[in-house]
Amino acid sequence: QTIEEGISNASGEDGDEVLSPALLAREISRRRNFAIISHPDAGKTTFTEKLLLYGGAIHQAGAVKARRAARHATSDWMELEKQRGISITSTALVFETSGSHITLLDTPGHQDFGEDTYRTLAAADNAVMLVDAGKGLEPQTRKLFEVCRMRKLPIFTFINKLDRPALEPLDLLDQIEKEFGLLTHPVSWPIGSGDRFVGIYYRPRKEVHLFEKDKSHGSREATVQKLSWGDPTLKHIIAGDLYEQLQEEIELLESLTSPLDKEKICAGDLTPVYFGSAMNNFGVEIFLESFLENSMQPIKHDSDIGDIHPNYPHFTGFIFKLQANMDPKHRDKVAFVRICSGQFRKGMKVKIGRTGKSISLTRPQKMFAQDRSTVEMGFAGAELFCYMRNPNPSKYKQFQKGISELLGEGAVQVLYSVDSGRSDPILAAVGQLQFEVVQYRMLNEYGVETQLEPLPYTVARWVVEGWPAIEKAGKIYSCATVRDQWGRPVLLFRNEWNLLQLLNDNKDIGDLVACALPP
């Protein structure tokens, strides 16, 4: 059908449910995606982790790294990836922050740069260029930049590793302007570098953010001390020569740099520039905030029947990457789809434009990265619960060790039943794949074959006032009472409706049920 027919034919078919224009507009405006372009070793992995941390997706960064550091585990992962035919370590990470829904498309950053990267960039609306402050622009960054330029992608520049000896910031800007023909607008500005790195000056708020080496090795959100530029104590904190230099540079920037013009950013003509140290969680928060403000929301895509705008009411998308399943037993492929319009529903019927064939999308795969990270938020996203059983009593110790280590690592969340008296742990997950990963690792790393027993719950809620409130309420029939790893009460409901019912029927406890996060 033509686009006009599609718009007038507003009744969805085969699961293609049409969203109301208002809802659609809201969803479109809160969505952002980007890919990171950089040269190997600039800090892409580190930066990605810190973004997820600030995005509230993981409470303790290091999961990605820890996995990589443990060689044994790494090879197991690779094996699992092969078996499943999906790339767990690359592709896409999804996280929510400040009401925005962000997709980070992973471009293979290393020697294997090639087709894959082009394809992934084809699905991106924005690019983040990560530059090592000590090295400036490097070959792979240049190549990837060319791809972004062809697509006129908005580019945001993060200059990393300011805690190490760095090139002069003005020279770095000059390099970007001259080599890439981009206008630059530094949103933040570094004060010193290496051993003398004091912090950054945040231009929109005229604030100095003081750098402190991160003692948690970057695993927690940093608390940054912020002082306004007029604060007299600054003169005592920043060494005289650096203070004077900063004073001059602030004036220079005001007169020299182009204004932060969103239209120019979105046209790919101007890049906002941020300075920081990903490893120390420094400068990342500002970047995220400013990125959300200035980046491009989903835009139209061209097709054989004309431009498809994101507010086109029906589901459309394009496949930007196919990955063959390497397991000979399952000769299927995973297709990565960039949704251009409408809403995806499991089981919906779609037509493949190239062949004209219709297929049902019955087996969507959730991204593991998303599962892993959102589950660490608490059980905010957990919708699946099951008992994990160890059928072999002689493996009791290994089973306990495996569960507690995987729990510690954040690979899974564990609950224990209270009212059934059963001692098997209950695993909580966002997606089925997560259970499979845990089972796989229990077997390969701890030598324990486990069994899963699904539970019929889909919603978990903490009880703010703890056990006394539960006792006061007496027996609650519409849910199961369990405890989390810290012994706090959690209620598991079959569905949202049961939860609502409890809130209505039992005002006492209703008021005490926390939202999805632990109190």
* Interface residues toward ligand GDP, by CB under 6 A: 38, 40-46, 109, 160-161, 163-164, 277-280
User: Taking the chain, what is the end-to-end CA distance rounded to the nearest angstrom?
Assistant: 51
**Minimum distance from residue 80 beta carbon to ligand GDP (Å):** 21
Closer of 113 and 440 to ligand GDP (Cβ): 113
Q: Parallel, antiparallel, or unpaired: how do β-strands 489-493 and 459-462 relate? A: antiparallel
Closer of 14 and 41 to ligand GDP (Cβ): 41
How many residues make up the chain in this entry? 519
Eight-class DSSP state of 145: H
* Tokens encoding 348: 């919906």
Closer of 32 and 44 to ligand GDP (Cβ): 44
Residue 204: Cβ within 10 Å count: 12
Residue 270: Cβ within 10 Å count: 23
d(CA 401, CA 407): 10
In degrees and rounded to multiples of 5, residue 253 shows phi and psi of -65, -40
**Minimum distance from residue 43 beta carbon to ligand GDP (Å):** 3
Closer of 108 and 518 to ligand GDP (Cβ): 108
**Minimum distance from residue 160 beta carbon to ligand GDP (Å):** 5
Closer of 43 and 136 to ligand GDP (Cβ): 43
**Minimum distance from residue 42 beta carbon to ligand GDP (Å):** 5
**Minimum distance from residue 382 beta carbon to ligand GDP (Å):** 29
Query: Positive or negative, the Cα torsion across 476, 479, 485, 488?
Result: negative
**Minimum distance from residue 40 beta carbon to ligand GDP (Å):** 5
**Minimum distance from residue 280 beta carbon to ligand GDP (Å):** 6
d(CA 54, CA 49): 9
**Minimum distance from residue 54 beta carbon to ligand GDP (Å):** 15
- Mapped onto helix, strand or coil, the DSSP state of residue 101 is strand
221: amino acid identity, one letter: E
Query: Positive or negative, the Cα torsion across 188, 194, 199, 201?
Result: negative
Closer of 208 and 278 to ligand GDP (Cβ): 278
Closer of 45 and 295 to ligand GDP (Cβ): 45
Closer of 211 and 493 to ligand GDP (Cβ): 211
d(CA 295, CA 290): 8
Closer of 135 and 300 to ligand GDP (Cβ): 135
Strand order across the 207-210 sheet: 188-191, 199-202, 207-210, 225-228
**Minimum distance from residue 107 beta carbon to ligand GDP (Å):** 11
Strand ranges inside 203-326, DSSP E: 207-210, 225-228, 270-275, 316-324
Q: Which helix (H) or strand (E) holds 493?
A: strand 489-493
